[in-house]
Amino acid sequence: MTGSNTISDENQLANFMQRIEAGEKIEADDWMPEDYRQTLIKLISMHGMSEIMGALPEKEWVPKAPSLYRKLGIMAKVQDEMGHGQLLLRVTEDLLEPYGKNRGDLMQDLFNGDLKFHNVFHMETKSWADAGIIGWLVDGAAIITQTNMLKASYGPYARALQRICAEEVFHAQHGESIIMALTEGTDQQKAMIQESLNRWWEALLMFFGPASKETTGSSKQDLTIRYKIRTKTNEEFRQLFFDKYIPRILSLGLTIPDPTMHFDKENQMWSYKQPDWNEFKKIIKNQGPRSEARLNLRRQSYEYNSWVRDALSHSVR
């Protein structure tokens, strides 16, 4: 029996690889190799939870937004992010089905540190300019990585990304609009945006992850490329980010907080000072500047409101 199962699994794997090589989409009920499912669960649940946890740093600036128009803009943006989180957790829930796990389990995984959220959302916010930097450059970075997966071999994720990326473009424009107002504003506003860029620079470099698994000891990038979930490496993403944003940052009169940054014509690559990857390792262990505070906020509100979820699951008379 074991022997025939193995042969059958091998056939199924060959068939699966043939399908994704041919550009076919894999659906939730299709056969898939275990490491493909596991990779997707890890990737999509982390993406979903990052959208939800990512709402928290921006939410800090929702009431403080300095005009009615800005208040409306940032409220809409944060709501979109929560919507992305919901969409992605639904995709993950389908993948979790064979294990009998659900959204409640994902929340517990987040709280106990088994499910990570993106390193950029562990950072502190200090000024209104941070709302601009998050919208313009963090969402800009997200657009680069997520558009690369629009043709991902897993159909439900690729379709969710179509909508998410479309909305992220609006978010980047929202952020850019805040940045433009500040860079064209008073000396105080200009100083505010430069200080914010300086503070977020390392986090933006870390956004794409280390160039190879030697930095942190593990990386899923080889597997995600083999299974056609994505096509580019972390470093390729980072270089694309530089290509797009370095000229824009400079054109606004801002200074890149890295004097060594330059385009190396010989290698056709941007040369830059590496961020502190030891700090990155701490952040991904939930030891970043705001990791515990944001997890606590989410955990406490979740536990404090558990009576509501109990009430909803109780039959209505």
Footprint (CB under 8 A) of other proteins, residues 182-201: 182, 184-186, 188-189
Q: Which residues lie closer than 8 Å to 128 by C-beta, 6 or more apart? A: 61, 64, 65, 66, 178, 192
Q: Find the part of the chain contacting other proteins (CB under 8 A) among 166-174, 200-208, 251-259, 305-313.
A: 305-313
Applying CB under 8 A, among 9, 15, 35, 64 the residue interacting with other proteins is 64
Applying CB under 8 A, among 59, 101, 220, 281 the residue interacting with other proteins is 59
Binding marks (x or -) toward other proteins, 246..265, rule CB under 8 A?
Answer: --------------------
Q: Does 167 bind other proteins (CB under 8 A)?
A: no
Q: Find the part of the chain contacting other proteins (CB under 8 A) among 6-14, 66-74, 154-162, 214-222.
A: 66-74
Q: What CA–CA distance (Å, rounded) separates 284 from 281?
A: 5
Please count the residues of the chain: 317
Q: Find the part of the chain contacting other proteins (CB under 8 A) among 28-36, 73-81, 247-255, 274-282.
A: 73-81
Q: Does 150 bind other proteins (CB under 8 A)?
A: no
Q: Find the part of the chain contacting other proteins (CB under 8 A) among 76-84, 91-99, 225-233, 271-279.
A: 76-84
Q: Does 316 bind other proteins (CB under 8 A)?
A: yes
H or E element in which residue 262 lies: strand 262-264
Q: What CA–CA distance (Å, rounded) separates 176 from 198?
A: 17
Q: Min. distance of Cβ 196 from other proteins in angstroms?
A: 13
Q: What CA–CA distance (Å, rounded) separates 198 from 273?
A: 13
Q: Which residues lie closer than 8 Å to 70 by C-beta, 6 or more apart? A: 178
Query: How crowded is residue 269: how many other Cβ atoms within 10 Å of its Cβ?
Result: 15
Q: What CA–CA distance (Å, rounded) separates 298 from 233?
A: 32
* Centroid of chain to Cα 130: 17
Going 215 to 220 to 222 to 225, the CA torsion angle's sign is negative
Q: Where does this chain bind other proteins (CB under 8 A)? A: 52, 55-56, 59-72, 75-76, 78-79, 82-83, 85-86, 89, 128, 178, 181-182, 184-186, 188-189, 296-298, 300-302, 304-312, 314, 316-317
